[in-house]
Every structure is written in C-alpha cells, then in structure tokens.
C-alpha cells in the first residue's frame, strides 16, 4: 500500500524519480488523488516552505523540491481531473512593468502551486493592463505582484488602481526585496509577505 509520508519525504529530498514512481504507485494502489496531493505532495512542499522560512534550506533546495513536485503533479493531474479535485483558487502572478527579476517570483509561484493554488504566471515587465486582463480572463481571486527595484515599486500602485478602475473583484498582495508592509498599506494592497513560504500562507488567508 502506498506510503504518503514516504512520498512527502522523497519530495523534501528533491528526488524527482522517486516522487514520480511513488505517485504512480499510489494511483495504482487506488489511493484517492486528493490524498496523494494533500498528504504527499503538498505536505512535503509545506515542510520545505517551513524550512526555507527558518533558513534551514536555501533557494536551490526549494527549486529542486519544486521540480520534484512538478514531476509528481504531471502524473497526478489526470487523476485529479477525473476525481473532480479543483485547485483552491486561481492566482495571477507577475513581476511589474520595467522589472525583469523573476527568480523570487518563480519561487513564490512554485510555493503557490505546492500549496494547491492554480497559478497564471504573466511573466516579467508586466504592465497594469496585463494584470487586469489576466485577472478578468482567468477568474482569479488573487493578484500577486513582485518587484525587485525601488524604481518599479510604484508600478504596484498603478496595478491596484487599474484593478479598482476596472472593478475586478480580486484581492491583491505584493512582495519583493525592497517592498515593505508600510508600502503595502500606503498603496492599499491587501497583503504583503517577505518570502515565498509566507506568501503561500498569506495567499490562503486572503482567499
Ligand atoms: Co538586479 N538588482 N538588476 N539583476 N539583482 C538587484 C535587485 C539589486 C538589489 C542589486 C544591487 O544593486 N545590490 C539592485 C536593485 C537596487 C534597488 O532598486 N534597490 C538591482 C539592479 C540595480 C539591477 C539593474 C538595474 C542593474 C543594471 O542594469 N544597472 C538591472 C535591472 C533590470 C530590470 O529589471 N529592468 C538588474 C538586472 C539583473 C539581472 C537580469 C542581471 C538578474 C535578474 C535575473 C532574473 O531574475 N532572471 C539580477 C539579479 C539576479 C539580482 C540580484 C543579484 C538577485 C535577485 C534574486 O534573484 N534574489 C539582486 C541582489 C540581491 O538581491 N542580492 C539584484 C533571489 C530571490 C530568491 O530573492 O527576488 O528577493 P528575491 O525574492 C524573495 C523575496 O523578495 C520574496 O520571496 C522570494 C523568496 O523568498 N518575494 C516575494 C519576491 N517576490 C515576491 C512576491 C510576493 C511575495 C514575496 O507576493 C506576490
């Protein structure tokens, strides 16, 4: 019988082949897809998130675990669809206009996916209209923005203004090295988080 704790442990170790193998085995054993997702893959990613927050693991380990998660998800996806398991919600994620930094954003995206959210990644250098359009077309409940430059932080205010002007009903959250809670308060963002692990907790609390 499939051991979901062992699946979580393989993900924590970033062992992509083992994660793929064990996901296949769990499906073959008739374990519900939702349990494989929540007690195996998401549980493993949550541990990585906590360790990352506590500085016990570094970016590279998170990337390797996320790659293993992706491998497992590819195998699990058809079973999830068949079982009617929906993502918790859709999140639009992008780096704001004028800003090409995407390592942190991608990490946040991986943690979001690892937390059971569907991510619509609109990339870098994304103008306000692109965020608004993506939120409208995807039916997202959350719009998440990243900025790494002090010069591009004001773009976040523009995105929030554009969302309000278009009357799109989404919560907004921001992050990135120069961003602070007081800046979030100043521009009317619904939330701010300092790192990728907190970002997924914040996203879930906003939804
Ligand atoms: Co740039 N760069 N860069 N750069 N770069 C910084 C950010 C800088 C601090 C370096 C420095 O001067 N010390 C500085 C910004 C200064 C400032 O404005 N305060 C800077 C500069 C000036 C520039 C250029 C202007 C340089 C030039 O051309 N003169 C230029 C700008 C280009 C542009 O964007 N238009 C530029 C270019 C680049 C590269 C292209 C070479 C490359 C980016 C490659 C890429 O992303 N694909 C690059 C890099 C790599 C860096 C540093 C070295 C590393 C950034 C990084 O990836 N960190 C950076 C210096 C540094 O930070 N030490 C620097 C790792 C990443 C995991 O952390 O992105 O902070 P971070 O993400 C964290 C959190 O911030 C948070 O979670 C992540 C994980 O915990 N987070 C969120 C991020 N987004 C979030 C969103 C959330 C929540 C949390 O919710 C939605």
The CA 146 to ligand 1 mean position distance, Å, reads 10
Ligand 1 — pocket residues by CB below 6 A? 59, 98-105, 107-108, 144-146, 148-151, 173-178, 193, 195-196, 199
10-residue mean pLDDT series, the chain (207 residues): 90 97 96 90 90 92 91 88 85 98 87 89 98 98 98 98 97 97 98 91 94
Query: For residues 18 and 10, is the Cβ–Cβ distance under 8 A?
Result: yes
Whole-number pLDDT of residue 128: 98
- Which protein residue's CA is at the shortest distance from atom 48 of ligand 1? 101
User: Which residues, other chains included, contact 32 with Cβ-Cβ below 8 Å and sequence gap of 6+?
Assistant: 83
101 CA from centroid of ligand 1 (Å): 5
CB 142 within 8 A of CB 206: yes
Q: How far does the centroid of ligand 1 lie from the alpha carbon of residue 102, in Å? A: 8
What is the DSSP track for 88-146? S-EEEEEEBTT----HHHHHHHHHHHHTT-EEEE--SSB-HHHHHHHHHHHT-SEEEEE
Q: Which residues is 93 bridged to in the sheet? A: 121, 144
CA 48 to chain centroid, in Å, comes to 13
Q: Tell me how far apart the alpha carbons of residues 29 and 128 are, in angstroms, rounded to a whole number.
A: 47
Q: What pLDDT, on the 0 to 100 scale, is given for residue 81?
A: 79
Does this model's pTM top 0.85?
Answer: yes
pLDDT at 1 (0 to 100): 58
At residue 185, the pLDDT reads 98
**CA neighbours closer than 13 Å in the CB half-sphere of residue 137:** 9
């Amino acid at each position: 019988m499939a051991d979901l704790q062992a699946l979580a442990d393989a993900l924590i170790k970033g062992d992509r082949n083992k994660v793929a193998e064990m996901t296949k085995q769990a499906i073959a054993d008739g374990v519900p897809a939702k349990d494989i997702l929540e007690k195996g893959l998401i549980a493993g990613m949550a541990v990585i998130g906590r360790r990352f927050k506590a500085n016990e693991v570094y970016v590279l380990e998170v990337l390797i675990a996320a790659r293993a998660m992706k491998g497992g998800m590819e195998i699990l996806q058809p079973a999830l669809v068949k079982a009617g398991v929906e993502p918790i919600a859709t999140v639009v994620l992008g780096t704001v206009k004028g800003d090409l930094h995407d390592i942190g954003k991608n990490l946040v995206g991986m943690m979001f996916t690892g937390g059971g959210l569907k991510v619509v990644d609109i990339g870098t250098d994304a103008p306000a209209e692109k965020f608004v359009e993506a939120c409208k077309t995807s039916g997202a409940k959350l719009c998440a923005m990243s900025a790494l430059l002090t010069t591009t932080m004001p773009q976040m205010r523009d995105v929030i203004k554009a969302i309000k002007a278009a009357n799109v009903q989404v919560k907004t959250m921001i992050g990135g090295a120069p961003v602070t809670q007081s800046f979030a308060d100043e521009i009317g963002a619904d939330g701010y988080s300092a790192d990728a692990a907190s970002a997924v907790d914040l996203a879930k609390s906003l939804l």
